[in-house]
A and B are shown apart, each in its own frame.
Chain A
Amino acid sequence: MIQLFAFYLFATIVIASAAMVIFARNPVHSVMWLILAFFNAAGLMLLAGAEFIAMLLVIVYVGAVAVLFLFVVMMLDIDFAELRAGFVRYLPLGALVAIILAAELVFAVGAWSAGGVDLAARAAPVVSDKSNIQQIGELLYTRYIFLFEAAGIVLLVAMIGAIVLTHRKRGGVRTQNISKQNQRRPQDATRLVDPGVGQGMEL
């Protein structure tokens, strides 16, 4: 009973906030609705018994990705009049995307009502006495180890690529060398002199 209630609550909020992402006038509000959608999707995952995935969803998407979104969107100087200007020009493309999505939806619902593919036979059986993390870990590090490693390498290459693309060497920048600073001793930096009257001193 309470699961059903929770499911409909989360599902409604996910859909409503996903719609609000598009409808919100203010891009910062859009990102906030997106965060709400992520959060409630995590709630749905919890209901499905995948607590590990739920936590990852919150940590990765809400905690990192959406913060960066917000970061960028806040700093944008958006001209709302200009945003709404190209409506007619983008209408055909938008309509095309909408038609494709609608067709996919119809096919999906049709296939589902026709019985669907028997996924249960292909998926690994759930071992109930083990926690979620252990199950995922055992699958990832034994059966799918090469795919997992390959995904890691792809991410590594993407990371290096991003750094290479954005890295630029600027000349004439003076940076702090902390270990050098820490190694500096008073006797290297200061000198005690006792100049006579009217002699001055050289540095």
Chain B
Amino acid sequence: MTETFISWGMDPNWAWGVATICGILLIALPLMLSVAMIIYADRKIWAAIALRRGPNVVGPFGLLQSFADGLKVFLQETIIPTGANRGLFLIAPIITFTVALMAWAVIPFNSGAVLADINVGLLYILAISSLGVYGVILSGWASNSKYPFFSAMRASAQMISYEVSIGFILIGVVLFADSFNMNEIVKAQQGHGLGIVNAFGFNLLLFPLAVMFLISSLAETARAPFDLTEAESELVAGYQTEYSSMSFALFWLGEYANVLLMCTLNAVLFWGGWLPPIDWAPLYAVPGIIWLFAKILFFFFVFSWVKATVPRYRYDQLMRLGWKVFLPISLLWIFLISGYLMLTRYS
């Protein structure tokens, strides 16, 4: 994009700056729109599984429901509890929302269509996703209320636990792809399965990791069945209890942007990203971004499907799954994968 602006007669430095800002807007605005639509989709899927109709009043098929909700929330008054720590109370939703947007900078939408094509892309995503926990902790603490505080404690322990196993799972992918760069990881998946399937997930060594990553990403985004942070039967609404109006909406948007990000990561890391599922020339005629979106939507469907069907975990079961099941298995798998690669690729 920078070249286009330079060809319009702009100074290279300015062209770079304008191109970057355009890139950010090109990612952030459609993302916000898709978050609105994905909330609608979530409610519709959930309703369909529960044999209900779901939102069907605002607009055709209720398509405008999320926008109506957004407008309603926007017009509400922002209430700050008297006992709350004002500054941190207001910063917390901003952190959640900003962090949810930041990680999208390194997601490749097509070959070369990535805002920041950095060498440490995957580490950047790990770093940013580890920041997300601060929004939750701070909101829980700054609310100066019991339920949000419990929720914050749960959230921080949960996210840290699952980040450990996610880290090990990502190492498995990096070992196979031989790069931390997201685009390189996608390219490494071309024809990976038997020379025809464009996905790491079809590799027998990586498939268990793909399953564990899917489950860990549910836990990392605090979606059902791991939504203990907002367990309404115990904690009212968890860390969001004291929030209203736009500050609540920011949590909401950030949460769904994170869910979309995790779906994208599943698609990019294990199922070929913008590559078509099968390495067959006519399929490449379809733009890569469409393949990527199809994969993201598929994983989002899995997320809502799980939400509608699986009962909530108990807290000690959640911790057991993270530390006693996923961590040892993913560690073992690192050994297996590196042993296999030493025998085949590097010997």
Q: Whole-angstrom distance between the alpha carbons of A68 and B131 in the complex?
A: 13
Partner of A58, one of B88, B130, B138, B163: B130
* B residues less than 8 Å from A71 (CB atoms): 137, 153, 156-157
The answer to whether A178 touches B320, judged by C-beta atoms less than 8 angstroms apart, is: yes
* B residues less than 8 Å from A58 (CB atoms): 127, 130-131
The answer to whether residues A56 and B317 also contact, given A32-B88, A51-B118, A74-B141 and a CB cut-off of 8 A, is: no
Cβ of B316 within 8 Å of any chain A Cβ, yes or no, is yes
Partner of A63, one of B118, B131, B141, B317: B131
Q: How many A-B residue pairs have CB under 8 A?
A: 72
The answer to whether residues A132 and B119 also contact, given A35-B134, A62-B130 and a CB cut-off of 8 A, is: yes
CB distance from A151 to the nearest CB of B (A): 18
The answer to whether residues A63 and B119 also contact, given A71-B153, A178-B320 and a CB cut-off of 8 A, is: no
CB distance from A98 to the nearest CB of B (A): 30
Q: Whole-angstrom distance between the alpha carbons of A55 and B126 in the complex?
A: 9
Cβ of A190 within 8 Å of any chain B Cβ, yes or no, is no
CB distance from B113 to the nearest CB of A (A): 21
Name A29's closest neighbour in chain B (CB-CB). B88
Cβ of B261 within 8 Å of any chain A Cβ, yes or no, is no
Chain B 217-251 interface 0/1 with A at a Cβ cutoff of 8 Å (1 = within)? 00000000000000000000000000000000000
The answer to whether A59 touches B120, judged by C-beta atoms less than 8 angstroms apart, is: no
Give the contacts of A46-72 with B (CB-CB under 8 A). Answer: 51-52, 55-56, 58-59, 62-64, 67-68, 70-71
The answer to whether residues A56 and B134 also contact, given A71-B153, A71-B156, A178-B320 and a CB cut-off of 8 A, is: no
The answer to whether B133 touches A67, judged by C-beta atoms less than 8 angstroms apart, is: yes
* B residues less than 8 Å from A26 (CB atoms): 85
Q: Whole-angstrom distance between the alpha carbons of A68 and B199 in the complex?
A: 37
CB distance from A24 to the nearest CB of B (A): 11
Chain B 106-126 interface 0/1 with A at a Cβ cutoff of 8 Å (1 = within)? 000000000000111001101
Chain B 155-175 interface 0/1 with A at a Cβ cutoff of 8 Å (1 = within)? 011001001000000000000
The answer to whether B130 touches A63, judged by C-beta atoms less than 8 angstroms apart, is: yes
* A residues less than 8 Å from B119 (CB atoms): 51, 131-133
* B residues less than 8 Å from A64 (CB atoms): 130, 160, 163
CB distance from B179 to the nearest CB of A (A): 8
The answer to whether B126 touches A67, judged by C-beta atoms less than 8 angstroms apart, is: no
Q: Whole-angstrom distance between the alpha carbons of A64 and B162 in the complex?
A: 12
Name B17's closest neighbour in chain A (CB-CB). A2
Name B125's closest neighbour in chain A (CB-CB). A55
The answer to whether A176 touches B317, judged by C-beta atoms less than 8 angstroms apart, is: yes
Name A42's closest neighbour in chain B (CB-CB). B127
* A residues less than 8 Å from B163 (CB atoms): 63-64
Cβ of A18 within 8 Å of any chain B Cβ, yes or no, is no
Give the contacts of A1-46 with B (CB-CB under 8 A). Answer: 2, 26, 28-29, 32, 35
Q: Whole-angstrom distance between the alpha carbons of A63 and B119 in the complex?
A: 20
Chain B 73-85 interface 0/1 with A at a Cβ cutoff of 8 Å (1 = within)? 0000000000001
Cβ of B180 within 8 Å of any chain A Cβ, yes or no, is yes
* B residues less than 8 Å from A67 (CB atoms): 130, 133-134, 137, 156, 160
CB distance from B90 to the nearest CB of A (A): 13
The answer to whether A52 touches B131, judged by C-beta atoms less than 8 angstroms apart, is: no
* B residues less than 8 Å from A74 (CB atoms): 137, 141, 149, 152
Q: Whole-angstrom distance between the alpha carbons of A26 and B138 in the complex?
A: 14
Q: Whole-angstrom distance between the alpha carbons of A59 and B128 in the complex?
A: 8
Chain B 315-347 interface 0/1 with A at a Cβ cutoff of 8 Å (1 = within)? 011001000000000000000000000000000
CB distance from B88 to the nearest CB of A (A): 7
* A residues less than 8 Å from B316 (CB atoms): 176
Name A53's closest neighbour in chain B (CB-CB). B120
The answer to whether residues A52 and B88 also contact, given A35-B134, A67-B137 and a CB cut-off of 8 A, is: no
* A residues less than 8 Å from B126 (CB atoms): 55, 59, 63
Q: Whole-angstrom distance between the alpha carbons of A68 and B157 in the complex?
A: 9
Q: Whole-angstrom distance between the alpha carbons of A74 and B13 in the complex?
A: 45
* B residues less than 8 Å from A132 (CB atoms): 119-120
Partner of B123, one of A56, A68, A70, A176: A56
Most buried by A among B127, B134, B138, B153: B127
Q: Whole-angstrom distance between the alpha carbons of A64 and B156 in the complex?
A: 10
Q: Whole-angstrom distance between the alpha carbons of A55 and B103 in the complex?
A: 13
The answer to whether A52 touches B123, judged by C-beta atoms less than 8 angstroms apart, is: yes
The answer to whether B180 touches A133, judged by C-beta atoms less than 8 angstroms apart, is: yes
The answer to whether B120 touches A133, judged by C-beta atoms less than 8 angstroms apart, is: yes
Partner of A55, one of B124, B134, B141: B124
The answer to whether residues A55 and B160 also contact, given A28-B88, A32-B88, A176-B316 and a CB cut-off of 8 A, is: no
Apart from A51-B120, A59-B123, A74-B149, 12 more pairs, CB < 8 Å? A28-B88, A51-B118, A55-B127, A58-B127, A64-B160, A68-B160, A71-B137, A71-B153, A71-B156, A131-B180, A133-B120, A176-B316
11 A-B pairs with C-beta separation under 8 A: A26-B85, A59-B123, A63-B130, A63-B131, A63-B133, A64-B163, A67-B130, A67-B160, A68-B160, A71-B156, A133-B120
